[in-house]
Amino acid sequence: MDLKTEQISFDQLISELSTRLINSEPAETYECIEEVIAAIGDYADADRCYVFEFNDSLEHMTNTHEWVRTDYQAHISDLQAVKTADLPWFFEQIKTYHKCIVDNIDFLPPEATAEKAEFEREQIKSVICVGLVANQHLLGFVGCDMVRQERQWTPEEIRRLRLVADMVANTLERQRTYSELIHTQRALEKANRMLQAQVAQDGLTGIANRRAFDERITNEIQRASRHKTPLALLIIDIDQFKPYNDHYGHLQGDQALKSVADAMFDQLQRNTDFIARYGGEEFVAVISATNEEKTKESMNQLLEAVRNLKIKHEPSEVEPYLTISIGGYIHKPRADEDTEDLIARMISKADSALYRAKSDGRNRGYLDT
Ligand SMILES: Nc1nc2c(ncn2[C@@H]2O[C@H](COP(=O)(O)OP(=O)(O)OP(=O)(O)O)[C@@H](O)[C@H]2O)c(=O)[nH]1
């Protein structure tokens, strides 16, 4: 092949490879670079062709891609996180001139003793490396080794490797930007999820708030209507909480509210049911796919869980410890029922049952159907 024909065929190869890199998905970048260095190594008649990447502080370099001619030894596994300070002459060449060209390792300058030892270890006779620079950042280098014989690298070969280096550098830069973008996107999604959770959470007790309840009851009514299963709504109110606050103070009142919320939450968690703070010292629970018997059982468990806390309540006329009263309503939603009307009706029915529980002495639960 004469020089002109060879140049044309190389330019064609570069053009094909760069098209492939440009069109590659970020996930395919790694494989694409592998293909590029294999094509270049083979085309340039080198024995090895590789890419190294620096870490951000330029303290380490890692061999990320390697192509090796058949029967020659690969070195990628022993060239991971190599300290740049261990090859100071080489690193200086790449950093300052963005290239390091060695035709014959016997003619390396005296200060390159570490480099000579490393080249000998890898049986390298000649080597050429060109810096990967994108947006004025040195990302690494691409290089070719000659093991078979020495080689005088021509200006044309240096020019070609520079083209390859620019192509790889831009691809890596694009990949980094993409990874940063993904990272930012994940962080944003996480922040968003946390915000959403906060929006649905009661600040004092940490359980769901009224807003979350509104959403949940709507969904549960629609689900119960589709599955034709009964749904129970409970309103739970702490007994004689005003005298509790008056006697123990508002701060201790807050503490008691948290303990009651925790105990009820733990109790209902087992049934994958839902409890929210409805406001003040009032809570609301939704028990799905249930029946009268199971709902009464859940109500008794809630009453018992709060009694078992044994939170002292001296001024109470009910018990010497904190208790709750519960009003419930159980209903099988029909497809023709308006969800909003039904929510209002369920709340009102549960409220009436609660009123009766309070009137009959508190520390009890009534369920209406
Ligand atoms: N510590 C504290 N108290 C609250 C909070 N929200 C509401 N309360 C108090 O809860 C008490 C509710 O009192 P009432 O509605 O009169 O009812 P009660 O004393 O519990 O009596 P019964 O419900 O009839 O048993 C009021 O004193 C409110 O100040 C809160 O976030 N923290």
- Of residues 29 and 300, the one with the higher pLDDT is 300
Mean pLDDT of 229-248: 96
Question: Mean pLDDT over all residues of the chain?
Answer: 93
Range among 149-163, 266-280, 353-367 with highest mean pLDDT value: 353-367
Tell me the HSE value of 148 on the side-chain side, using a 13 A CA sphere: 11
Q: What is the mean pLDDT of residues 120-138?
A: 96
Please check the confidence at residue 328 and state whether its pLDDT lies above 60.
yes
Mean pLDDT across the stretch 325-346? 95
- In the chain, the percentage of residues whose pLDDT exceeds 90 is 76
- Residue nearest (by alpha carbon) to ligand 1 atom 1: 253
Range scoring the smallest mean pLDDT among 1-10, 61-70, 158-167, 355-364: 1-10
pLDDT at 28 over 90: no
pLDDT of residue 20: 82
Name the more confident of 5 and 228: 228
Confidence band, pLDDT 50/70/90 cuts, at residue 75:
very high
**Rounded mean pLDDT of 264-281?**
85
Residue nearest ligand 1's atom 24 by CA: 240
pLDDT at residue 250 greater than cutoff 70: yes
Question: Which residue's CA is minimally distant from atom 31 of ligand 1?
Answer: 280
Nearest CA to 214 out of 261, 298, 278 is that of: 278
| Residue in 276, 200, 280, 274 with CA at minimum distance from that of residue 232 | 274
**Nearest protein CA to atom 11 of ligand 1, as residue:** 242
**Is a pLDDT exceeding 80 seen at residue 8?**
no
The pLDDT, as a whole number, for residue 1 is 59
Instruction: Considering only residues 363 and 1, tell me which one the structure prediction assigns the higher pLDDT.
Output: 363
Does the structure show a pLDDT above 90 at 295? yes
Range 297-307 average pLDDT: 96
Task: Domain 210-368: give its CATH superfamily.
Answer: Reverse transcriptase/Diguanylate cyclase domain (3.30.70.270)
Ligand 1 centre to CA of 361 (Å) is 17
State the distance from the centre of ligand 1 to the C-alpha of 364, rounded, in angstroms: 18
pLDDT band per the 50, 70, 90 thresholds, residue 270: low
248 Cα to the center of ligand 1, angstroms = 12
Q: State mean pLDDT over 7-27.
A: 81
Nearest protein CA to atom 13 of ligand 1, as residue: 242
Q: Which position has the higher pLDDT, 16 or 263? A: 263
The answer to ipTM > 0.90 is yes
The stretch 215-237 carries a mean pLDDT of: 94
Residue 269 is predicted with a pLDDT of 66
CATH 3.30.70.270 segments of the chain: 210-368
Which residue has a Cα nearest atom 28 of ligand 1?
242
Minimal-distance CA residue to ligand 1 atom 6: 280
Ligand 1 atom with the shortest distance to the CA of 237: 23
Which residues does a 6 A CB cutoff place in the pocket of ligand 1?
204, 237-242, 245, 250, 253-254, 257, 280-281, 358, 362
The pLDDT value given to residue 192: 86
Residue 256 CA, closest ligand 1 atom number: 1
pLDDT at 41: 94
Judged against a pLDDT cut of 90, whether residue 278 lies above it is answered with yes
Nearest atom in ligand 1 to 238's CA: 20
CA 221 / ligand 1 centre spacing (Å): 30
- The pLDDT value given to residue 207: 94
Q: For residue 243, is pLDDT > 90?
A: yes
Of 205, 242, 255, the residue with max ligand 1 atoms within 8 A of its CB, to mutate for a pocket test, comes to 242
Percentage above 70 pLDDT, the chain: 98
The mean-pLDDT minimum among 27-31, 55-59, 218-222, 350-354 falls in 27-31
The CATH architecture of the domain made up of 3-182 is 2-Layer Sandwich (3.30)
Instruction: Enumerate the CATH 3.30.450.40 domain ranges in the chain, comma separated.
Output: 3-182
> Per-residue confidence at 341, pLDDT binned at 50, 70, 90?
very high
